[in-house]
Amino acid sequence: MSEKTRQHHKLLILGSGPAGLTAAIYAARANLKPALVSGFEPGGQLMITTEVENYPGFPEGLQGPKLMDMFRAQAERFGTQFYAGDIENADLSQKPFRLQNASVELTCDALIISTGASARWLGLESEERYKNKGVSACATCDGFFFRNQDVAVVGGGDTAMEEALYLANLCKRVYVIHRRDELRASQIMQKRAIQNEKIEFVWNSAVDEVLGDDQKGMTSLKIRNLKTNEIKEHPITGLFVAIGHTPNTHLFQKQLNLDENGYIVVKPGTTYTSVEGVFACGDVQDHVYRQAVTAAGTGCMAAIDSERWLAEQES
């Protein structure tokens, strides 16, 4: 068996989405010589999107993976050291912090957590086949491609209502498919969605199958009434799955303050977590905005917060 790599870094960043890579760019330019662990999904959620049209500075839009390649190249240019793979164990109880997996044991004085959140999916084989060809988990990202079309949103929480209301501004008709006859969303969001004439609720129902072809993408949905088991096919060209996100915080349970949904709690207006020297940015601490540009913004904040914190420790 090969020797485990043991290395100490002043600043370690976990995650290689827009938040982590932006933190790396800023930290490297501040001469903190950061190291970054890419994680099992290098590039984060933008790697599974196609066209990104709302990242400022790219008026023609660009592919999500291309944007992340550019982020990474910029972080590399200023000397970020990259580790592939995922961390399996983190100990934040003493300094330096200790993070490891089977092949590396890393210690650091300051840690930036930007491990993101993963959208939950229905788990249908046809859902997987039509991802980015009609099936999406982000209306703000992809709604524009479905202008004046009939679309569906699955879920009954605040995210589903928010997605439905956003889509109602763009699309011809929005069907909200919910597995019960009662919404989980807050009263105010429920009211707004129910009052919107373009939104129609399909109660006690679930998506049974996404149908389409390789050229046109998704063309219709088979929806099952869970009370009667009746299945009907509807000509719907976009499906937005809004059944929640899971923040990637399992490593930090019982070590950092997390909210009731598992997101890292940061001091308002900063990236400071409940442990001194540990900072959090991007979707792992944000269930509201969840955009590449907001993740990048908080990544910049984390680099600045950690730089100042490190400087205070040295003075």
For position 127 contacting ligand NDP by CB under 6 A, the verdict is no
Task: Retrieve residue 181's tokens.
Answer: 């006859």
- Catalytic residue list contains 108: no
Minimum CB separation of residue 185 from ligand NDP in Å reads 7
User: φ and ψ at 231, to 5 degrees?
Assistant: -115, 130
- Catalytic residue list contains 213: no
Sole residue written with tokens 């330096």: 96
CA distances, 256 to each of 14, 262, 299, 313 (Å): 15, 10, 19, 21
State which of residues 29, 184, 222, 234 lies at the interface with ligand NDP (CB under 6 A).
184
Pairwise CA distance, residues 39 & 14, whole Å: 7
For position 226 contacting ligand NDP by CB under 6 A, the verdict is no
State which of residues 20, 134, 156, 299 lies at the interface with ligand NDP (CB under 6 A).
156
* Neighbouring C-beta atoms of residue 126, cutoff 10 Å: 18
Binding mask 53-92 for ligand NDP (x = CB under 6 A): ----------------------------------------
For position 122 contacting ligand NDP by CB under 6 A, the verdict is yes
Minimum CB separation of residue 173 from ligand NDP in Å reads 20
Amino acid letter, 248:
N
Pairwise CA distance, residues 68 & 295, whole Å: 13
For position 191 contacting ligand NDP by CB under 6 A, the verdict is no
Tell me the pairing of strands 97-100 and 173-177.
unpaired
88 or 181, CB closer to ligand NDP? 181
For position 285 contacting ligand NDP by CB under 6 A, the verdict is no
79 or 244, CB closer to ligand NDP? 244
Specify whether the backbone of 282 is left (phi greater than 0), alpha (psi in -120 to 50) or beta.
left
- Catalytic residue list contains 138: yes
Active site residues: 138, 141-142
